[in-house]
Amino acid sequence: MARNREELPNNKEAEKAVLGAMLIAPEAVVDGLGSLIAEEFYEGNYANRAVFKAMRQLQDKHIPIDVQTVTEELINSKELDSIGGTEYLLELSQSAISLSNLEFYIKIIKDQAIIRNLLMAMREIDNTFQNEEIEDISDFVTQAELKIRKVTEKRRISNFIASDELADRVRESINLQTKQVSEDGVTGINTGYTGLNHYTHGFQRDNLIIMAARPGVGKTALALNIAFNASLKSNIPVAIFSLEMSADSLAKRLVANRACVDLDHITTGYLNKSERLSIEEAINAISRSTIFIDDTPGIKLYDIVAKSRKLKATQGDLGLVIVDYIGLITSSNKKFESRQQEVSEISRSLKDLARELKVPVIAISQLSREVEKRENKRPQLSDLRESGSIEQDADLVLLLYRQDYYENIGAKVASKKMGRYPTDETPRDGKSKEEQKRELDASLPGDASTVEVIIAKNRNGKTGKIPLHFFKSYGRFDNPTKEYEEALAKIESQSDGDM
């Protein structure tokens, strides 16, 4: 039988069956009010929706639900006559189904409501298309997709997960991680950095990772290093959304990084034979990776989401998403009272993207200038610029600190002439730990310096800090040598009285 086009999908008999059961069985009241909302009863079946609302009102007043109490509630709200009087309530009670079938009929009501909402969303989309000028087709498609997603997400919200099912999920997850864990304890995406992997066990799928520093400290360089390491070591596609730098510029940085050739030499073309050979090897290595760069200026948030979904669909997987940087993203056409509110929506959406695609998302962020006003310039969570809910949404927050960014270490003379790291025999002369660290840093080769990666928040593990060596001329981050780590550990182990 064909449905009247003006009538949206509904099942009046299922609604009556559930309401009837609720009128005569307290157990049905618990299931009905716990599973359904008034809006899931079809608006065209006005009487059924009104009866359910009356039942909800009685529950809120802690009054038992039966034909008599519902009648009185409908009298008080002046709706008894409009639903068909007491006769309709008696008709409902005669339509009651057994408790064993109640869940099935509740599902019918909910499914019909989902279909109605979906159809209404589609009609709204069609109406916009037919009657409004579409200036940005990408925006229109994304907004349409969001309307439909809101409908489907409602289905998930109302369902609890029983403890036995949850236990099975945890068991399955642990078994899977046991199979996947590598010798160095990495269960997520391999960052390529021993210390970072130690604290995080690799970047976990569905995590939002905030990487923040002042401009010029090296956050984009570190993100690029991690992208390349992840692509090769974990053999996964990586998406990079670069709002600040062109794809060509990023590609040159990758080449300089892999070839260990000064970026200036690559930019100017002044290369010797050895450098050309190193660059060719680096280009071959990069071509074997699966890194995808989108350098659309001022890219909208919904484009990042849509393109990430598409890339995962076309590649079969997506291992890592990097957004550089969060402060340049435009969220939507919606007006916000402040930039902080807009950034909050952006961070929330990036977190949702990580959970939806089961992929770690690295969002690069700037630190506020407040950090430079303090004597101790090591960044803190409170230094996140326009933070909004960034700290709350993030699973992992990495703050980068580079001592030579804030002060001139001077010529690397004393330690460099020694050609070795300070040892127990190196005079301390009552120097502070920071001074000793500066001397240790000065002993690094070339223009290298130490970047402290401060793990300021780790939802699933410990916080702490790790040193990485940053070679500025070619934007490369390396694990510190064993000799350096031993020298640093000796400095850190000193008590104040030893200095």
The domain that holds 196 is classified in CATH as 3.40.50.300
150 — alpha (psi -120 to 50), left (phi > 0) or beta?
alpha
The domain tally of the chain equals 2
* Tens of each residue's pLDDT in the chain, 499 residues: 444 556 788 999 999 999 999 999 888 888 888 788 888 999 888 899 999 999 988 988 888 899 999 999 999 999 999 999 999 999 999 988 888 889 899 999 999 998 988 898 888 888 888 888 877 787 778 778 777 777 766 554 455 555 555 566 666 665 655 555 555 667 888 899 999 998 998 899 889 999 998 888 889 999 999 998 888 877 889 999 988 888 888 888 888 888 888 888 888 888 888 888 988 888 888 888 888 988 888 788 878 888 888 888 888 889 999 998 887 887 665 566 677 777 787 888 888 889 888 899 999 988 888 787 787 888 888 887 666 577 788 899 999 998 887 765 433 433 443 444 444 444 455 677 777 777 777 767 777 888 999 999 999 889 999 999 898 888 889 888 888 777 777 877 776 555 4
Q: Is there a single domain that holds both residue 270 and residue 309?
A: yes
Q: What are phi and psi of 164, to 5 degrees?
A: -70, -40
* Strand, helix or coil for residue 398: strand
If you search the block for the tokens 């001329």, which residue do you land on? 473
Residue 490 belongs to a domain: no
212, 399 Cβ separation under 8 angstroms: yes
CB distance 314 to 362 below 8 Å? no
Last residue of a domain, one of 399, 428, 455: 399
Q: Residue 316: which domain range? A: 176-399
Tell me, yes or no, whether 469 lies in a domain: no
Residue where a domain terminates, one of 362, 382, 399 = 399
300: its two tokens: 């909208």
Amino acid in the structure at residue 392: Q
Task: Exactly one of 72, 79, 145, 244 is catalytic; name it.
Answer: 244
The pTM of the full predicted model, rounded to 2 decimals, is 0.65
Could you tell me if 132 and 205 lie in one domain?
no
- Is residue 145 part of the annotated active site? The answer reads no
What is the spatial distance between Cα 130 and Cα 137, in angstroms, rounded to a whole number?
13
Residue with tokens 């959406």: 349
Phi–psi pair at 234, nearest 5 degrees: -100, -5
